[in-house]
Structure 1
Amino acid sequence: MSTQLPAVTVVGSINLDIIASADRLPAAGETIGGGRLTQQPGGKGANQAVAAARLGVGSRMIGAVGDDASGRLMLESLSGAGVDTTDVAVLDGDATGTALIVVDGDGENQIVVCPGANAAFSLEGVEFGPDETVLCQLEVGLPVVLEAARRSAGFFVLNAAPAMDLPAELLERCDLVIVNETEYELIPALAGAKLVAVTFGKDGSAMFERGQKVAEAPAAAVTVANTIGAGDAFCSALVLGLGAGLDYSAALTVANAVGADAVGDPSSQPALAQLEEYVARVAGVGVAPR
């Protein structure tokens, strides 16, 4: 276990992304040629942990990889980005999670996730501090997310992706839920959640309390290279902005700027500036109590 608790602990998936880039996405049953193949670190959990580290805070990753070459590569990548990997389990007999991704010339994508070790780990032996911020997603088993919610006492955030029905116990524990507009529509129970941030792509983002919009922020203009890691960067930036004392509108504006930088980067784990630079970059953003 780590002796110092970081600013954000991420409980979630770690994947190898295998990406085929093509001019357009294939239709059902269609084969298209001329693709370009790349591999890179990914997984919503790992992407969010790396984004937090690159934004300039400590981050801890709780998850699992297989005892294979891909797992070793994922651990090296996380550590190289400054993420604490002490609580990443290496599971013998389970392959490292893999995402098969097709990306078109506009940055739109199709993704199939093969969870592997992500579906097999537990929180046995993992501890959470009383004031620790915990960020989860739904690319790992729901029982793990529920256990994290029960055991963490600090600020608990759920990026409810991929969309699924959420147990009432989990939703009631969430201090913040983050979704895109499609996920918001697919999870009706979110209308009653205490605090939900929703992203709307080119239309920006908004914050809802018990279904009532209480803040919004416009999107930043950007040339799209890849949308895979943008939502994950947004999640980390929003959590960190709120933790730093930004009000809802300011935190959304900063998170939109971070997401825009991520969209303009072809990597699932894009290079980012320090959080303070985004706060200074966005005109009219100031630190204010909520």
Structure 2
Amino acid sequence: MSKDTKQGLVLIVGSINTDLVARSPHLPRPGETIGGHEFSEHSGGKGGNQAVAAARIGGRVAMAGCVGADGNGKVRLAGLEVEGIDCGAIEIDPSLPTGVAMVTVADDGQNTIVVVAGSNGQVTPEMVKRHEAVIKSADVVVCQLEIPWDSVYATLVTAKRFGKLTVLNPAPATGPLPADWLPLVDYLVPNEVEAAILAGLPVESQSGARRAAKELQRAGARNVIVTLGSQGAYLLPEGGEGTHFSAPKVDAVDTTAAGDTFIGVFAAQLAARQPLEAAIDLAQRAAAISVTRAGAQPSIPTRQEVDSAA
């Protein structure tokens, strides 16, 4: 799919990080020191990852965020520009360093992540207001929770005022969302852990995902998609019956950015006005490829790679 004016614009408002990644035989237990066998540094941040995923699948993408006036910031910004992402709404703040994520990846593909927000904390409601023009020009506006929550809320309010489709990836989730948020969300896309936290219900199976999705829809979200990793995804559309989508079977190497790949590809397909089921299918196939590779943004596939694997 070409990046021309027929492709709607996806705006990602979110975090930009440097990922410091250590691979180890298993994830360390509290108080345990273990020997790692590989270290690498990559571009990351949920916002940056989702923007790259949307761009590589063929979307027209803009991003709003903040980096520091440091070496990491320059590298992260240059990396997004290389992907063809419009970075006009990414600000440079000299007061804080660019965000950092410290990632440990076990040999079975599972990971733990500690994020230090840094300049991501400077994505304020005032900054959102400064960039209303790009929100107004977008077709789909995507947010996560690695920037201040009041800025996410300001983005959702502004996007709905301009009549835009909104996608909220509630990650990381630390508790229920404020009651006035979900009515602003057209597509709420949590993973199973996030869905359980938001709904206050266990999500350990497809039936658990169904119950959580119904609760979140009752709270105001129009459409809910619960991603379930290797178990696929559960869609509860507005006014329709729920549907489970099976995930492609792959051997996972690193699950970092799998969810971000799903979100970015899904948003790009929404902006291209693709059917909902087709958007979810393509997003799942892209995410499945991403877990077979190491790293966050390095693992995100292009449209050609996804189509070739079909």
1:150 counterpart SS class: helix
1:95 counterpart SS class: coil
1:226 counterpart SS class: coil
Query: 1:21 corresponds to which residue?
Result: 23
Distance 1:211 1:100, change over 3 A: farther
1:86 counterpart SS class: strand
Give, as a single letter, the amino acid of the residue that structure 1 aligns with 2:11: T
2:270 counterpart SS class: helix
Aligned counterpart in structure 1 of residue 150 of structure 2, from 116, 127, 143 = 143
Structure 1 residue 219, shift from structure 2 partner: 0.3
* Equivalent-residue separation in structure 1 for 2:27 and 2:239 (angstroms): 35
| Cα deviations by residue, 1:163-185 (Å, 9 ceiling, x for unpaired) | 13212222101011111111111
CA contact (8 A) 2:93 2:119 kept: yes
Query: 1:268 corresponds to which residue?
Result: 296
Higher relative contact order (CA 8 A, sep 6+): 2
Distance 1:162 1:203, change over 3 A: same
Give the number of the structure whose residues are more often helix, by fraction. 2
Query: 2:203 corresponds to which residue?
Result: none
Structure 1 residue 34, shift from structure 2 partner: 3.5
Query: 1:259 corresponds to which residue?
Result: 287
Give, as a single letter, the amino acid of the residue that structure 1 aligns with 2:193: T
* Equivalent-residue separation in structure 1 for 2:138 and 2:28 (angstroms): 47
* Equivalent-residue separation in structure 2 for 1:243 and 1:132 (angstroms): 6
Mapped pair 1:129 → 2:170: no
* Equivalent-residue separation in structure 2 for 1:229 and 1:130 (angstroms): 27
Scaled by the length of structure 1, the TM-score of the pair is: 0.89
Give, as a single letter, the amino acid of the residue that structure 1 aligns with 2:14: G
Structure 1 residue 22, shift from structure 2 partner: 0.8
* Equivalent-residue separation in structure 2 for 1:237 and 1:216 (angstroms): 18
* Equivalent-residue separation in structure 2 for 1:37 and 1:278 (angstroms): 27
* Equivalent-residue separation in structure 2 for 1:34 and 1:65 (angstroms): 29
Query: 1:241 corresponds to which residue?
Result: 269
* Equivalent-residue separation in structure 1 for 2:309 and 2:235 (angstroms): 21
Give, as a single letter, the amino acid of the residue that structure 2 aligns with 1:201: G
Moved more, 17-26 or 124-133: 124-133
Give, as a single letter, the amino acid of the residue that structure 1 aligns with 2:169: N
Flag structure 1 segments of 5+ consecutive residues without an equivalent: 283-290
Alignment of 1:104-183 (within 5 A): 104-122=106-124, 123-126=128-131, 127=133, 128-129=135-136, 132-152=139-159, 153=162, 154-163=164-173, 164-183=175-194
Query: 1:9 corresponds to which residue?
Result: 11
Scaled by the length of structure 2, the TM-score of the pair is: 0.84
* Equivalent-residue separation in structure 1 for 2:51 and 2:289 (angstroms): 17
* Equivalent-residue separation in structure 2 for 1:225 and 1:143 (angstroms): 35
1:18 counterpart SS class: strand
* Equivalent-residue separation in structure 1 for 2:181 and 2:137 (angstroms): 18
* Equivalent-residue separation in structure 2 for 1:45 and 1:185 (angstroms): 22
* Equivalent-residue separation in structure 1 for 2:87 and 2:45 (angstroms): 15
Identity level (%): 34
Structure 1 residue 203, shift from structure 2 partner: 1.0
* Equivalent-residue separation in structure 1 for 2:285 and 2:36 (angstroms): 33
Structure 1 runs of 4+ with >6 Å offset: none
Structure 1 residue 208, shift from structure 2 partner: 1.3
* Equivalent-residue separation in structure 2 for 1:179 and 1:213 (angstroms): 19
CA contact (8 A) 1:197 1:207 kept: yes
Distance 1:271 1:160, change over 3 A: closer
Query: 1:285 corresponds to which residue?
Result: none
Flag structure 2 segments of 5+ consecutive residues without an equivalent: 200-214
Distance 1:225 1:95, change over 3 A: same
CA contact (8 A) 1:6 1:60 kept: no
Q: How many residues align?
A: 278
Structure 1 residue 216, shift from structure 2 partner: 2.2
Structure 1 residue 44, shift from structure 2 partner: 0.1
